[in-house]
Each structure stands twice: as structure tokens, then as C-alpha cells.
Structure 1
Amino acid sequence: MRASKRQQVVDKATELFSKHGFHPVGIDWIIDDSGVARMTLYRHFQGGKDDLIREVLEQRYHYIIDSVSQNVQAQSDPIERVKAIFDWYKSWFTTPEFAGCLFERALAEFGTSYPKVSEIAIRYREKMVAWIGEILEDVMPPAQAHHLASVCMMLLDGATVDARAFGDPSAATRAWQAVEALVLPTRASEPAA
């Protein structure tokens, strides 16, 4: 089944934005590479490039959350559930389309003062930190869990940059090993069941 013209534009824009950034990629480039007419693009994205960027980020947000959720739900142990998030990142780093994090790119290019774009990037980070924190509450006090969740997100960010800069998917494994070193002392102090 052929993708709709709208989805064709979003898919091509996602690819171009991932590889080249939001600002360098213009509407003409997206139109040329997606093979749609200018009128088609503006019929679907009346606000032009800003609306298209927002849709790219929204779709990316839902794709990642759904995909990571499947990894997490396959595990029952809380620590293994957090590790499943790091494993998802490692798998993502090995895909041919991996070119870094679109959310981080959006924040880098637009800052936080342009909510039409930055709101989604911030929502992604907040969702991931809250999610990891909720999982970790099963093995440590809530304040400690949410602090460690924030550290996990920073490590995932660093692993993403490292994987992009050096083409090394094992950055996610090294990030997980750092988290594991932080969690093991807490795990050892848990009362036996």
C-alpha cells in the first residue's frame, strides 16, 4: 500500500531533518525529494515548514514511546525494564537511518523560546524521565528514583551524541553500565523477599 502524500512528505522531511537539521532544509528541498507538488505540501501543512516540523516531531514522539514501551513491557523486573530502554537506544543506534536525536536537534536549533517546536522536545524528555522514575520507584524511594531517572536521561543523551559522532552503538551499553553501577548498591540493600 502506498503512503499518503501527506505521510510521504512527513517521511521525507523526517529523513532530511535528521541528516541535515531543521534550518538548512528548506521547503523546496522537501518538495523535490518527496516528489509532491508545492500545493500538496501546503494543503496538508498550511502553516508551512513550522507545521511540518511539528508533525515530524509529533510522529517521532509517538513512534519512540510506542516502540520503547513494547521493549519495557516485555520485562517484569524493574531494573530489566529500565535496561530495556537502554537496549532500545542501542538497537536504534544500529539502524541505517540513525542520525542523532531529532528532539535534541530541535532544542539546539530553536531553543526553548519557540514552543511550537520546543514543546514536543521537552515533552519527550519529561515523559522519559517520568517513566524511568516510575519504574525505579519499585526499587528505591521516589525522590531517589526520580533523581536517578534524570541521570539516566542525561546518559542516554550522551550515548546518542557519542553514537552519532563515532558510529558506536555500544555507547548505550556503556551508559547502561554507569546506571547499573548506581543501582546495584541500592539493589543490594533491598530486604529479601
Structure 2
Amino acid sequence: MVYHHYPKLGVVCDTSDHFILAFRADRGPRPDVDEFRPLVSDALTPVRVSLMSADAGYDSEPNHRFAREEHCIRTIIPPKHGRPTDKPATGHYLRLMQTRFDREAYRNRVQVETVMSMIKRRQGSHVRGRSYWSQCRDLRLMALTHNIMILLPRWVFYRAGRESFQIKGSRRLSFP
């Protein structure tokens, strides 16, 4: 079997305004589960997060424990990782996801797919870089450009009488 490597972008975004709070550029195929901690740590630098939804690739007991116990973030990750079974999960948070999964709160996770679609529609669905480092650089630039495209209209059209605005109500950004 031959594996084809492809550029891979992992993001944490605000579901209300599609602003990317943290991103990691890498090359796939590889599991998502080990990207969770760095992404959460990077996202907590500019803002405070109280609820985080993620897809099943990030599901693991250490990831739940990291977010919930160390950072007080309620995680909603579907318990579908691994082989299907009817047995209850062994970890406390994995069992919690099996028994009390909040489908209503998880529905906001589709906004991440919207962000990825916005990036692909506005900037293209491929990167030009050939090497690993140039592909990662291209992905980082795409994420930053996406954020600028969100912030620029707010700065241009909503600046009358205001010198700053808030994102998620926790950190104030000022513009000249």
C-alpha cells in the first residue's frame, strides 16, 4: 500500500464569527488525537474558552482530562474512536460522552467545516509549496489571511466612533 502525503491544517475557531483562534500545519496522513493539546494551549493564549466541540479523531481520555481538569473547558467529542463495541468505555470522561452526549451543543461544530470551506473558496483548495516546510508555511499564511479577511471589513465598516472591538468578550483588540 502506498501512502500519499498531503498538507493538513488543524484549527480551533470561534463558532459565532469563524475567527481562527489557533492552527497547526502539518502533513498527513496522521492521527488527530496528538494535535489536541497544542491546539487547545494555543487557543487559550488570546481568549478564554468554556466549551469545545471536536470531531471523533480527537477523542481520548487524556485529551478530555487535559481540557476539563487543567483548563476547565467542557469538551464535547463523539465517542466513536476505535473499534465499535457495546461495552462501556474505561475512562471517566469517555463514559460520560457515551451516556450524556450533548447533541445540541455538538451541532455548532459544523462551523469549523464552514471555516475550512471559506478558506478553500476564497484562497483555493491547494498549496503551491513542494517541500514540507513550504507547504506548512502556505497553510499558516492561509489561516492568517482568513483571519485578516474577517477582521478587515469590521475595521473598515464598523470603526465610526469606535477605536476597538471585542472578540469573545475577553480580550480587547485595538487598531490605529
Name the TM-score, length of structure 1 as normaliser. 0.27
Larger radius of gyration: 1
Question: Normalized per residue, which structure has more strand?
Answer: 2
Structure (1/2) with the larger helix percentage: 1
Q: TM-score, normalised by structure 2?
A: 0.29
